[in-house]
Structure 1
Amino acid sequence: MKKSPLSLLGLGQAARTGYVGTVVADEPIAALAAHDVLLRGGNAADAAAALGLALSVTLPSRASLGGGGACLAWKPGDRDGGRAFLFLPTGDAPQDAQQASASRADRPASAPMLARGLYLMQIRYGSVDFADLTRPAISLARAGFEVSGQLAADLSVVQAPLLADEGARAVFGRVDGSALKAGDILRQPRLAGSLERIRSGGVGDLYSGALGQTLVAASNAAGGGLTMAGLRSALPASVAPLTVTSGNVSVSFLPPPADGGYGTAVAWLGLANGQGSSSRGRQAVAAWRASEAGGSVGTQSARAEALLNSGHAPANGGTLPSLPASTSFAVVDRDGESVACALTMNNLFGTGRMAGSTGIVLGASAAHKPGPLLAAAIAHRRADVFLAASAASGQADAADAAAAALTGALGGNVKAMSPTTEAGRANAISCPGGLPGEGERCRGWTDPRGGGYVSASDGS
C-alpha cells in the first residue's frame, strides 16, 4: 500500500490541538521527536518508528542501527491481539575459530536489525512514508544534541574499552581523553550520512545496496565479520503475540524468542491472582530457557501460550546469568493505536567498535551471549478500546518491572506503576477511560530512578 508523504517536521503542516497521544521512553530527546510526529498528524506506529531511529542517535549504547529488538503493535479492530515484530540482533559473523581467524572477526557483530524491524512494523501499522520518519534522527545526528544522563552513565561504565577504538573515541571522547559527560554536545555527521542514505535509497540499501557493502567492509576492518549474505538473510518476523484474557480485558505480550514477554505475562498473572513476587517473571524466563526454548518462532509461541492458558506456567526456574542491557518505550495515539518496544545491542555499545565511515556502532553477535529480556505488553478491552501499555529494561528484572507497571496502569494508579525490582526500569501508559475516547484521562509514567521522559499534548 502506497502511503502519503508526511508533511511534518518543519515541512509545513499545522500541529494538531487537544490530546494527540502519549509517549514514554528512557531518553527525553527521542521521546520529544516521537511526540512531534503525533502533533503533526502521524499515528502511533509512525511515532514509534521515528523514536526508534532517533534512539540510534541519542542512545547508541542500547539502540544503535547495529542492534535490534522487538515491538508490539495494536489498533482498535485487531481481533488477534495485534502483531509482534521480532528483529533481535543475530549472530552473523563466522562462528568457528578458524573462520574467525581468517576473517579477523575478533569481536563478532550482529546483523543490523533495527531499521528493518522498525520498517516492517511501520509499513504494517503506519500511515505515512517511512523516509519522512528518518528526518528527526538525521537532524539530531547532524546538528548535535546534549548528552543525556542515561547515555553519560553508559559511557562511564565502558569508557576504557570503548575509547580504545579510534572510531568510537572520535565520536564519544572529549579532547582530554575522557568520555563525554551529561550536557556535552554529541554530533555524528557520519551516522547522519548513513541515515540520509536510508531516507533516500530506502531501508534495503543497508542490507543489499551500497550502504550495506560499506558496512560489511567497515565491520571487517573493525573485527565484526559481517557479510552481505548475512545482511540479506537477516529478516525480521511478524507473528501473533502471546495473548491472555481476564474478564473483558485482553493483554498482548511479546512472544519467544523475545521471552521477556512470557516472563511479563507470568508475573502479571501472578499479581492479578494475589501471588505477587518481585522475581516471578525472572524465574519464569529461567524455567522457560531451561526446558522450553528452541524450535521455530511459531512453535515457541504456541508452547508459551499453552503454558499461560493452562495456568501451570512454571514460575521457579532458578537464576539467570548476567544479561545484556536494553531500553524501552511505548506510544499511543488519540485513536488508540499503540506500540510498545524494547531494543538492545546485546551488550552496552555492542562490540564497542564503530563501523568506519557509516558511523554505526556495531551490535554484539548473539551467538556467544545470553539473550536479553525484551519485555512489552499492550492491554485492550475486547478488540476496540486501548487501556494500557508497558515496556521495560533492566536486564533480568525487566519482565517483573513491566508486569508491575502494567498492573498499575490497568488500575489507573500512577503510583502503583512503580516496580519493586532493584534494576528494572519501566515505561507505562494508562488510559482508564479507554481510547479512542477519553484521552484527557491518559497518563504516562516512567521510572523516576532513571532518565526517562513522558511527553503528552497537555504538557504532562
Structure 2
Amino acid sequence: MRDFQTPGRSAVRTTQAMVATSHPLSTLAALDVLREGGTAMDAAICAAAVQAVVEPQSTGIGGDCFVLHCPGGGDRVLGLNGSGRAPGRASIEALRGMGLTQMPTFGPHSVTTPGAIDAWFRLSSDHGRLPMARLLEPAIAHAEDGYVIYDRVAFDWQIAAPRLAEDPASAAIFLPGGAALQVGDLHRQPALAQTLRIIAQEGRAAFYDGDLARAMVAHLQSLGGVHDPADWAATRSDAVTPISTGYRGYRVHQVPPNNQGLTALVMLDILSGFDLAALDPDGTERLHLEIEASRLAYADRDRHLGEDPGLAARLLAPGHAPGLRAAIHPDRRIESLPEPELATSDTVYISVVDRDRNAVSFINSTYHSFGAGITCPQTGIIFQNRGASFRLDAAHPNALAPRKRPLHTIMPGMVTKDGHAVMPYGVMGGDYQPAGHVHLLANLLDYGMDLQQAIDHPRAFHDGRVVQVERGVPARTIAGLQDRGHEVACAAEPHGGAQAIWIDRERGTLTGASDPRKDGIALGY
C-alpha cells in the first residue's frame, strides 16, 4: 500500500473493463466505446485516433503502430506489425551522393510510408464490433471543434517549436501567431478533421489510393522526396508471431524484429540470473545491474537488428544470455562495450481490457516530436521520420533499401501466465523503451510494487554516454554508480511514460495505472 502522506495517486480498480492512455480525452473516448459494447480493439483504435489529434507531437495518422492482442484473455498472443517501409526508389547511393554519411533525422528522406491507418482497418475488421466511422467520431470532433492543450503536450511542443518553424505548413498549424501553444490554449486542426472525415466515409482506400495519398506524395516530392503513389498503394500491415521469454514464472511477449522488443527480452534473460529481489529497489546494486544488462542488450540490437526473421531465435537461445551475464562485474562498469548514441522520443501507448477480457497492447507513433517536422498542408497529416533509423552501410542488417522496414523503437508488451493474459503494458520513450519495460517488470515481479507505484518509480537510462537519472533517484545511489565508473547526469526530461492493466483472474478484478510523466489517466467501470 502506498504512503498517503507523500505525493502520488492510487491505482484504478474495477471489474468490467479498463482503459489506460497518456491523455484524458483519449481514455474517456475509449471508455465510451467500451460502454457501448465495443471491443478492446475498438476502444484502442478510437483512443489512438483521438491522440493523433490532441497529442500531435507524439503520434498521428502519418505514423506507424504495433499491437499485441490476447483474445478472450487467454495466453494465445496475436501480433500485428503496422510499420511502414522506405520508398521504392530509396537508395544508399543516392543519399551518399548528396554528401550524407548517415540518415538524416528530419526532412523528406527520413519519411517512411505511414502504416497505422492500414493497421487500424485490419484490426477493426478482424477484432472489432463497431464501425470505423464511429471510432473516428471523437477525433474528428476534437480536430474540428478544438481541444485544450495539456501540460505535457505543451512541454513537448515548446521544445519542438524551432523545428516546426522550419516548415511553413507545420508552422501555420502548430505555431499560430508564430509561437508554440501554451497550457490551457484551445487548438483546432480543420484540415486534419476533414481528412479523418474522408477516411471515416471512404475507408482505407481513401488514405492509400485516393486524393489523400496523391496529396501526401506530391508534397513530399516537392521537398525532394523520392516517394511515389505506388509506395502508398503497396502499404500493408502484417500478422506476426510474437516472441517471448520467461521471467520469474511469467511469460513476457514482444513483437519480433524489425521491432526492438527483442532487446527487452535479452535484458530479462540476462537479469534472470541475478537475485534482484534481494537488492534495494532504489539502490546502486539494482540500477548497476539494469544499466549493464541494457548496455549489453543494446549492443546486440545495434549489431544485429533489422528484418532478420531468425534473429530472435539466436539471441533468445539458452546459451546466449549466460555469456553476456558473465561480462557483468558487480563493482565496476564494462569498459569494452561500444557506446551507441541513444535518444528518447515521443509516442503514445494504450492498454485496454474489455468485459470479455480481450486484452490489447497498442502503440502508435510518428517517432521524434512532430515526426519528420513536415506537415502536408492539404491534409493536415504530420509525416513520421522512422527512416532516420536506417543505416547507410549496405552490410548492416538495418541498411536502407527499397520497400524495407527500418529498426523500430515502439514496442507493446504483454505478460501471460498459466493460460491467461495477465498484463497488457507498455513504456514509451524511443530507445529508452527496452530499459523501461525491464525496470517496470522488475518493480512488479521482483519487488512486489503495486501497478501505480511500479510506474511512478524513479528511472535511469544509459544513453550511450552517461547515465541520465531522474530527480527521484537517491543521492547515495548516484554516488554508488559513480564509484563503479559510470558518468551520471540529471535527466533534462523524464524518461518515457507507461500504461498498464493487471488482470486478476482469481478475484475477477482489473487494476489500471497511467504514468504521471504524461497527462494521462486510467479509468474503468
Question: 2:280 maps to what in 1?
Answer: none
Question: 1:307 maps to what in 2?
Answer: 317
Cα distance in 2, alignment partners of residues 443 and 295 from structure 1: 35
Query: Compared with structure 1, are the counterparts of its residues 279 and 329 closer, same or farther at alpha carbon in structure 2 (3 Å cutoff)?
Result: farther
Question: 1:66 maps to what in 2?
Answer: 62
Q: Equivalences for 1:11-410 in 2 at 5 Å?
A: 19-76=15-72, 78=74, 81-92=76-87, 94-95=90-91, 96-97=94-95, 107-108=108-109, 109-175=111-177, 177-245=178-246, 249-259=250-260, 261-270=261-270, 273-275=274-276, 276=286, 277-279=289-291, 282-296=294-308, 298-304=309-315, 306-307=316-317, 311-312=321-322, 314=324, 318-323=338-343, 325-327=345-347, 328-366=349-387, 371-383=407-419, 385-409=420-444
Q: Which has the higher contact order (CA 8 A, sep 6+)?
A: 2
Cα distance in 1, alignment partners of residues 50 and 235 from structure 2: 22
Which stretch shows the higher mean deviation, 213-222 or 415-424?
415-424
Contact 1:43–1:126 at 8 Å: present in 2 too? yes
Shift of 1:241: 0.7
Query: Compared with structure 1, are the counterparts of its residues 320 and 230 closer, same or farther at alpha carbon in structure 2 (3 Å cutoff)?
Result: same
TM-score normalized by the length of structure 2 = 0.73
Which stretch shows the higher mean deviation, 65-74 or 398-407?
398-407
Q: Equivalences for 1:445-460 in 2 at 5 Å?
A: 445-457=513-525
Contact 1:286–1:318 at 8 Å: present in 2 too? no
Cα displacement string for residues 152-199 of structure 1 (whole angstroms, at most 9, x for unaligned residues)? 122111212202322212211232x21111211111111011111111
Contact 1:375–1:402 at 8 Å: present in 2 too? no
Cα displacement string for residues 50-91 of structure 1 (whole angstroms, at most 9, x for unaligned residues)? 111212111122211111132211123755x41221223432
Letter in 2 for 1:424: H
Shift of 1:206: 0.9
Letter in 2 for 1:147: I
SS at match of 2:416: strand
Equivalent pairs counted in the alignment come to 428
Cα distance in 2, alignment partners of residues 430 and 160 from structure 1: 37
Shift of 1:229: 1.1
Letter in 2 for 1:395: G
For structure 2, the residue ranges without an aligned partner over 5 or more in a row are 1-13, 100-105, 277-285, 328-336, 392-406, 461-468, 470-493
Structure with max Cα Rg: 2
Cα distance in 1, alignment partners of residues 323 and 69 from structure 2: 25
Cα distance in 2, alignment partners of residues 112 and 193 from structure 1: 18
Cα distance in 1, alignment partners of residues 250 and 78 from structure 2: 17
Cα distance in 1, alignment partners of residues 48 and 365 from structure 2: 11
Identify which of 479, 498, 505 aligns with 1:434.
Answer: 505
Cα distance in 2, alignment partners of residues 274 and 283 from structure 1: 19
Cα distance in 1, alignment partners of residues 512 and 198 from structure 2: 34
For structure 1, the residue ranges without an aligned partner over 5 or more in a row are 1-17
Cα distance in 2, alignment partners of residues 128 and 308 from structure 1: 44
Cα distance in 1, alignment partners of residues 41 and 82 from structure 2: 16
Give me the CA root mean square deviation.
3.0
Contact 1:84–1:241 at 8 Å: present in 2 too? yes
TM-score normalized by the length of structure 1 = 0.83
Cα distance in 2, alignment partners of residues 187 and 19 from structure 1: 36
Cα distance in 1, alignment partners of residues 425 and 73 from structure 2: 20
Query: Compared with structure 1, are the counterparts of its residues 248 and 159 closer, same or farther at alpha carbon in structure 2 (3 Å cutoff)?
Result: closer
- In percent, how many aligned pairs have the same letter? 22
